[in-house]
Amino acid sequence: MSRFRFIHAADIHLGSMLHIDGAEEGMLADHCRKAVYKAFERLCQKAVEYQVKFILISGDLYDRESRNVYANRLFADMCRKLDEKGIGVFVAAGNHDPLMESQELFALTPNVHICKAGSPSVFEVTDDGRVIARVIGQSYNAPGVRDRIYREFNLPGDGIFNIAMLHTQLEASGNYIPSTVSDLMNVPNIHYWALGHIHKPGILNKRKPVIAYSGTPQGRDFGEEGPGGCFLVEVDGTEITGMKRIITSSVMFRTINIDISSDELKNAEDLTTLEAYIVDKANQVALGLTGTAAVEPPADADAYLSKVYEGLNEPDDFMAIEGCAVRWLLSGRGNLHRVLRNLDDGGVADITQALRSKLESLRPFIWTDSVVIRTSSPLTDQTLAEHATLRKLLEQSVGELFSDESKARQLKSGLGLVWQGSGDHEARVEDRFFLDDDTFRSVIEDACQLILEKISEKAGD
């Protein structure tokens, strides 16, 4: 049987930049401009190191339908290097880079295969003249495709490893190839579904077929936290014998929680202690980035770094990560709340600026993107305990908002125009927010906290 490796990548978004607050100039501006390109270069370099047979790019190679010269040149250059090593590149265009009038600006080497739009393309991968794998896929020809194009993915079940590339939201309806996990499971003879569109990595089905999102190689904002990368997959015949994630991002976005009720901070009453604590935390984070695989994996690491596959389990390094953009999320109940809640925007900006300069020399860099205050008063628990009627009233009103749809709608309609955004991230409007269930819950919780604080203060007068 033939053994080979391939890389599954998607959502590279060449031509896009990172969004980090305060990074308009200097070293960080450079990182913001180059990180997406660097991630792609690293991906290609890893393909050579791991001697993969081919790379799959399941949509959104480019950020925009209108290609840019630098991005096109880099893609063509990297593909030429891969060609010299005998590595194939299979590309399906996604909703961000549909195949319309646009085309590549530079000639591509013969190892590059771009799926057609309108009907599926099938490619055969050969080794010494023998077919060892097939790749099927179809490009978007518009920013949305509502057809269930995978129903036409017909490949024979003849002992050859079959891969399907699909750029889908994996929702039963919508603009991005409506599909469900069971729809894909029902397509016969596919061994691996290389999905794109969702920027977070995930393995949705572990065996026969494997269905996976590789995630983006480089997160670009706080909606894409954690290390970015791609999947390295090892195949023996029609069996997947190993699978692991390769980290390709040079900059990582992280929200780090600072709990003011923690042992170290619960007695603190001034910003000096708080800033020193955050600086210490930042040093620990930076140290974590210098060790091999020392970064805490995201909470749901198991979901994508599956233990099922033992074939390629040598520890991957995080050395590609040159720094982190951090959002410090101050939370919990404690005395510091009294100081924090009185800060205006200028005060928060001043703390942000101070943290940036205190951490300036740290490598890997830890850049303070922002400081977000979500703390609450330690008094409110006590007030609730002392006022049984108030507690009952609050519980009842809040309970109704979550159980009674019409009450919730009434409240939402009074929250103002800013909350009339869409939940579809592709249809996002700049000055509108989408009120999802979590946000709705936190608005109500904040309101309760505010009521309790006001009452606590009155009681203390």
User: In the bound complex, what is the minimum distance in angstroms from residue 199's beta carbon to Mn ion?
Assistant: 6
In the complex with Mn ion, the residue whose CB is nearer, 52 or 61, is 61
The conformational region for residue 183 under phi > 0 = left, psi -120 to 50 = alpha, else beta, is alpha
User: In the bound complex, what is the minimum distance in angstroms from residue 60's beta carbon to Mn ion?
Assistant: 4
- What is the Cα–Cα distance from 332 to 330, expressed in whole angstroms? 7
User: In the bound complex, what is the minimum distance in angstroms from residue 298's beta carbon to Mn ion?
Assistant: 19
In the complex with Mn ion, the residue whose CB is nearer, 111 or 216, is 216
In the complex with Mn ion, the residue whose CB is nearer, 91 or 240, is 91
In the complex with Mn ion, the residue whose CB is nearer, 208 or 428, is 428
Residue pair 132/125 in contact by the 8 Å Cβ criterion: yes
User: In the bound complex, what is the minimum distance in angstroms from residue 168's beta carbon to Mn ion?
Assistant: 11
In the complex with Mn ion, the residue whose CB is nearer, 60 or 369, is 60
User: In the bound complex, what is the minimum distance in angstroms from residue 202's beta carbon to Mn ion?
Assistant: 14
- What is the Cα–Cα distance from 384 to 198, expressed in whole angstroms? 43
CA distances from 37 to 12, 46, 219, 224 (A): 9, 14, 12, 17
User: In the bound complex, what is the minimum distance in angstroms from residue 364's beta carbon to Mn ion?
Assistant: 26
In the complex with Mn ion, the residue whose CB is nearer, 61 or 89, is 61
User: In the bound complex, what is the minimum distance in angstroms from residue 436's beta carbon to Mn ion?
Assistant: 20
Burial class (CB in 10 A: 0-12, 13-18, 19+), 440: middle
Please provide residue 197's backbone torsions phi and psi, each rounded to the nearest 5 degrees. Answer: 110, -50
User: In the bound complex, what is the minimum distance in angstroms from residue 10's beta carbon to Mn ion?
Assistant: 7
In the complex with Mn ion, the residue whose CB is nearer, 60 or 316, is 60
Pairing state between β 130-137 and 192-196: unpaired
Residue pair 50/9 in contact by the 8 Å Cβ criterion: no
In the complex with Mn ion, the residue whose CB is nearer, 63 or 369, is 63
Structure tokens at 206: 């572990």
- What is the Cα–Cα distance from 457 to 379, expressed in whole angstroms? 9
- What is the Cα–Cα distance from 241 to 340, expressed in whole angstroms? 53
- Number of Cβ within 10 Å of residue 309's Cβ equals 19
Residue pair 117/93 in contact by the 8 Å Cβ criterion: yes
User: In the bound complex, what is the minimum distance in angstroms from residue 16's beta carbon to Mn ion?
Assistant: 9
- Number of Cβ within 10 Å of residue 210's Cβ equals 23
User: In the bound complex, what is the minimum distance in angstroms from residue 209's beta carbon to Mn ion?
Assistant: 22
In the complex with Mn ion, the residue whose CB is nearer, 225 or 350, is 225
User: In the bound complex, what is the minimum distance in angstroms from residue 65's beta carbon to Mn ion?
Assistant: 13
- Number of Cβ within 10 Å of residue 372's Cβ equals 13
Q: Residue 13 carries which DSSP code?
A: -
Residue pair 452/383 in contact by the 8 Å Cβ criterion: yes
CA distances from 397 to 116, 392, 451 (A): 56, 9, 13
Interface residues toward Mn ion, by CB under 5 A: 11, 60
In the complex with Mn ion, the residue whose CB is nearer, 60 or 234, is 60
- In a 13 Å sphere around the CA of 206, the CA atoms on its Cβ side amount to 11
In the complex with Mn ion, the residue whose CB is nearer, 11 or 234, is 11
- What is the Cα–Cα distance from 369 to 180, expressed in whole angstroms? 37
Structure tokens at 88: 């194939």
**Nearest CA to 370 among 344, 346, 349?**
349
The secondary structure element, H or E, covering residue 284 is: helix 271-290
